[in-house]
Amino acid sequence: RTNAMDIGAGFEYKIFDWLTFVSNNKVGFNNYTSENYYDPKAVGQESLQGTIHNSSSNTRTIYTSQLLRFLKTFNEVHEISAYL
């Protein structure tokens, strides 16, 4: 059984007409559990002698991105853009 969820949020804040702060953030959750039974009477599983195998994992991930976006236009024809 697996349960997973991702939550993301982002925003932009204009510092000047030509400079914008951009933030993107995400948190992920993943939970996994498993139970397997190997029957010793089943063909090919005799050597396991009746085994139960349990496993589980919990994973958390965090992603974050913070950028400054520069965009400047000169004489209405020339444009300079950059990310920092």
Q: Where are the domains of the chain?
A: 2-83
Q: Which two tokens stand for residue 3?
A: 């349960």
Q: What are the pLDDT tens digits along the chain (84 aa)?
A: 899 999 999 999 999 999 999 999 999 999 999 998 877 777 776 666 778 889 999 999 999 999 999 999 988 889 999 998
Nearest-angstrom CA–CA distance, 66 and 8? 14
Nearest-angstrom CA–CA distance, 6 and 56? 19
CA 35 to chain centre: 26
What is the reported pTM? 0.63
